[in-house]
Amino acid sequence: MKKLIFTLLVLIVALVTSNELSAQCVENPIGSGNYELPNGDPCPNTIVTAVPFLRIVPDARSGAMGDVGLAISADPNAMHFNASKLAFVENDVAVSATYTPWLRALGLQDVYLAYLTGYKKISDGQTIGASLRYFSLGTISFTDDNGQPLGTGRPNEFEFAVAYARKLSDKLSVAVTPKFIFSNLAAGQSIGDVEITPGVAGAADFSLTYTTPVKLQSGTSNLTVAGAITNLGSKISYTKSVNRDYIPANLGIGAAWEFEFDEFNSFTVAADINKLLVPTPCLGDNCDEDGNGIPDYKEQSTFAGLLSSFSDAPGGGSEEFKELMYSIGVEYWYDEQFAVRAGYYSENVTKGNRKYFTLGLGLKYNVFGLNFSYLVPTTNQRNPLDNTLRFSLLFDFAAFDSDDE
């Protein structure tokens, strides 16, 4: 198993652009841009990036709501989805910690994602936030081509981010979130004569939120819409090669409608749509027109790749729509102390085929809040979170002030 994991890591480091499935794809009819497998099934053309851990949802609350998070009410985990929500927070200081076991269905005990985040309100309408994301890939036994041991390592990755959120009006806010990314998968090892080094990148998130009350015949409600461009930054490489790889830049648009029926009962329905702002892998025989051994789509700059990501799919507009990822979730609160959540996430079969239901609970008492989530796949494709319970702990310092009054 350990050797298998290392093999997967090497594949990630190398980011080989041609795979067996793509090599078997044929264009049918010729010139249409539609590629099929020999059995007639659609050709998989998943968008591949480095450091995919940046897109793992770290929050158990959102993880219970189908991974929605752009427009739901703000807490410290807004740092992952949309930091501009922090401008609307009511509490002065809050901190959250989340632990997500990874690949537990395979019997691995030392692979996990840890996420620590918090915010501080510095004035009415201005908030700063910070987060640290750490992904441990466990202990790996390295071997050479002949199976001889080369020692062990502990691959890991982390992201450190800070955010500044500000209200532009009573209903509109914006935020910018610079971040530093470090990825050490197999430093000190080599592939042939090529030495593997840690990957380093810089990036930033840009987000905005608009929220407004909506009058109803009975009760009150609040509608929030939000958008965020995340992980927009430099490319990354694990070798000294000039051939660098994209990080998972993403465009997300979301909305949430919260209904307050009375002082005890509230209900929220939310939905997000996400799209990677990364070029779609090329299919066919004309992927390297300059003949330098690097697919042309990988040689674009970050911003050129962002622009081309809306129109470069081999299958045209229909394939571009297949690259959209959909999340929908609901949340019910009783007396702001007990929550029940559910959601669904869907991705096209040719773009990764992740489809799953999610469930979860939330508890809040005085200073502490605790959220749980559980994932239920709806396809035969395995998910790293199969049969895994993850949880988040929230700590609200403002509750101390309430107790003292």
DSSP collapsed to 3 states, 151-166: EEECCEEEEEEEEEEE
Report the alpha-carbon distance of residue 366 to residue 360 in Å, rounded: 20
- Residue type at position 18: S
Model pLDDT, residue 63:
95
pLDDT band at 75 (very low <50, low <70, confident <90, very high): very high
pLDDT band at 6 (very low <50, low <70, confident <90, very high): very low
Q: Could you report the per-residue pLDDT of 334-350, keeping only the tens digit for each?
A: 998 999 999 999 999 99
**Among 193-202, 203-212, 371-380, the range of highest mean pLDDT:** 203-212
Say how many residues make up the chain: 405
pLDDT band at 129 (very low <50, low <70, confident <90, very high): very high
Looking at the DSSP bridge assignments, the partners of residue 254 are 226, 272
Q: Which numeric CATH code is attached to 2-404?
A: 2.40.160.40
The pLDDT of 203-230, averaged and rounded, is 94
- Cα angle vertex 130, ends 309, 116, to 5°? 95
Residue 16 confidence (pLDDT) above 70: no
Report the alpha-carbon distance of residue 360 to residue 373 in Å, rounded: 4
Model pLDDT, residue 398:
66
> What backbone phi and psi angles, to 5 degrees, belong to 322?
-70, -20
Nearest Cα neighbor of 32 from 23, 43, 24 is: 43
- Residue type at position 156: N
Residues with Cβ < 8 Å from 83, sequence gap 6 or more?
129, 163, 165, 175, 176, 177, 205, 207
Report the alpha-carbon distance of residue 222 to residue 229 in Å, rounded: 24
Please tell me what DSSP assigns to residue 18: -
Higher pLDDT, residue 253 or 187: 253
Report the alpha-carbon distance of residue 72 to residue 228 in Å, rounded: 13
Model pLDDT, residue 65:
97
Q: What is the DSSP string of 207-264?
A: EEEEEEEEE-SSSEEEEEEEEEEEEEE--B-SSS-S--B----EEEEEEEEEEE-SSS
pLDDT band at 23 (very low <50, low <70, confident <90, very high): low
Q: Output the pTM of the full model.
A: 0.89
Q: What is the radius of gyration, based on Cα positions, of the chain? A: 22
Residue 8 confidence (pLDDT) above 80: no
Nearest Cα neighbor of 26 from 324, 313, 288, 314 is: 314
Q: Could you report the per-residue pLDDT of 47-58, keeping only the tens digit for each?
A: 989 999 999 999
The pLDDT of 138-165, averaged and rounded, is 84
For the chain, what percent of residues have pLDDT higher than 90? 59
Neighbours of 44 (CB within 10 A): 18
Mean pLDDT over all residues of the chain? 87
The pLDDT of 191-205, averaged and rounded, is 87
CA 16 from chain center: how many Å? 22
For the chain, what percent of residues have pLDDT higher than 70? 90
Q: Which whole-number Å values give the CA distances from 96 to 115, 127, 232, 368, 394, in the listed order?
A: 8, 16, 25, 10, 4
pLDDT band at 162 (very low <50, low <70, confident <90, very high): very high
Residue 256 confidence (pLDDT) above 60: yes
Residue 321 confidence (pLDDT) above 90: yes
Residue 272 confidence (pLDDT) above 80: yes
* C-beta separation of 144 from 7 below 8 A: no
The pLDDT of 373-398, averaged and rounded, is 84
Q: Say which range, 71-75, 245-249, 350-354, 381-385, has the weakest mean pLDDT.
A: 381-385
Burial class (CB in 10 A: 0-12, 13-18, 19+), 366: exposed
Torsion of CA 76, 57, 68, 97, to 10 degrees: -30
Model pLDDT, residue 7:
39
Percent of the chain that is helix, strand, coil (3-state, to 5): 15, 45, 40
pLDDT band at 105 (very low <50, low <70, confident <90, very high): confident
pLDDT band at 102 (very low <50, low <70, confident <90, very high): confident
* C-beta separation of 391 from 96 below 8 A: no
Q: Say which range, 141-150, 162-171, 196-205, has the weakest mean pLDDT.
A: 141-150
CB burial string 190-204: b at 16+ within 10 A, e below:
eeeeeebbbbebebe
Higher pLDDT, residue 225 or 215: 225
Residue 12 confidence (pLDDT) above 70: no
Q: Could you report the per-residue pLDDT of 76-101, keeping only the tens digit for each?
A: 999 999 999 999 998 899 999 999 98
Report the alpha-carbon distance of residue 89 to residue 125 in Å, rounded: 9
Model pLDDT, residue 341:
98
pLDDT band at 130 (very low <50, low <70, confident <90, very high): very high
Report the alpha-carbon distance of residue 317 to residue 114 in Å, rounded: 38
Q: Does residue 318 sit in helix, strand or coil?
A: helix
Looking at the DSSP bridge assignments, the partners of residue 400 are none
